[in-house]
């Protein structure tokens, strides 16, 4: 029987695999990462940056409404 050797995963993929395997990571993030791996990486990155920007603005607005101290701009 021939012995097969597996090549190690590229570091970027290995990091994502580790995050997906982590039971403390939300299912939402795991699904987003899985979906992103099937997409063009440049498009996925651009969308992730926009998502991050929008979620940060939302958190800032909620904090400002409740505490009056938004993050410094």
6 lies in some domain:
no
2 lies in some domain:
no
Instruction: Look at residue 71 and tell me whether its pLDDT is greater than 70.
Output: no
54 lies in some domain:
yes
Instruction: Look at residue 4 and tell me whether its pLDDT is greater than 80.
Output: no
pTM exceeding 0.85: no
Q: Can you tell me the distance from the alpha carbon of 54 to that of 64, in angstroms, rounded to the nearest whole number?
A: 15
| CA 2 centroid distance within chain | 38
Whether 62 and 56 have beta carbons less than 8 Å apart is answered as no
Domain total in the chain:
1
24 lies in some domain:
yes
Range of the domain at 39: 11-67
23 lies in some domain:
yes
33 lies in some domain:
yes
């Amino acid at each position: 029987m021939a012995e097969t050797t597996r090549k190690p995963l590229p570091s970027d993929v290995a990091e994502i695999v580790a995050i997906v395997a982590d039971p403390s990571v939300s299912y939402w993030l795991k699904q987003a990462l899985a979906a992103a791996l099937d997409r063009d990486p440049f498009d996925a990155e651009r969308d992730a940056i926009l998502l991050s920007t929008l979620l940060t603005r939302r958190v800032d607005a909620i904090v400002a409404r409740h505490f009056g101290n938004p993050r410094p701009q």
